[in-house]
Amino acid sequence: MVKLTGLKKIKTAVFISGAGSNLKNLIKFSKIKKSPISIGLIFSNTPKAKGLRYSNQFNIKKYVASFKNSKIAEEKILNLLKKESIEFICLAGFMKILSKGFIKKFNGKIVNIHPSLLPKYKGLDTHIKAIQNKDKLAGCTVHSVTAKLDSGKIILQKKVKISKKDTPASLAKKVLSQEHKLYPAAIKRIFN
Ligand code: GAR
């Protein structure tokens, strides 16, 4: 992970595809004096992402581009990131895979939050898999993004106990509330 230290906050873009609870949490974190980041852009691959409402609520620029043609979408995003002087990207429930070329351009400056204890359960349906396998522990991971899916260096992880009563939905809720603590802690670790 490349360190981007300085007096000014690091201008960050958050990429989302859905509800955006991690986005909202990161925005709140960014407003704390000691936070190393400011949020300058919200990107979504779909106009349906509920998290886009935080653009209006917190007065942050938003941009939507479909990944049906991911090459064109990535080109547009890269231009915008440059225009907005974005230095760092947080993926927060972003459900598209970025190309190797895109990741290379932001080498070491993209992080992701994943709802499992990586390297276990890369990809989708992590909570279903954990329950089906009768795991005792689930959790979440913040990691740096490399060209290989969910495989970059682990920055921080948080474990969550799975109870016998847990369903994929109840487990997702428990893990998500830990994600909201983990993501800011991981960002502090990266930059401080
Ligand atoms: C979070 O649980 C996040 O870890 C997961 O999607 C959810 C988004 O919630 N991300 C992935 O599965 C990425 N592969 P949010 O939109 O409320 O932040």
Give residue 6's pLDDT. Answer: 54
Give residue 66's pLDDT. Answer: 97
Whole-number Å distance, alpha carbon 52 to ligand 1 midpoint, is 14
Q: Which of 117, 176, 183 to mutate to test the pocket of ligand 1 (most atoms within 8 A of CB)?
A: 176
CATH architecture, range 10-107: 3-Layer(aba) Sandwich (3.40)
User: Among the atoms of ligand 1, which is closest to the Cα of residue 17?
Assistant: 16
The string of pLDDT tens digits covering residues 44-93 is: 999 999 999 999 999 999 999 999 999 999 999 999 999 999 999 999 99
DSSP H stretches of helix in the chain = 21-30, 53-58, 70-83, 100-105, 126-132, 168-191
Average pLDDT of the segment spanning 139-160: 96
- State how far the Cα of 109 lies from the Cα of 67, in Å rounded to an integer: 21
The model carries a pTM of: 0.96
Quote the mean pLDDT of the chain.
Answer: 95
Give residue 137's pLDDT. Answer: 98
Give residue limits of the domains in the chain.
Answer: 10-107
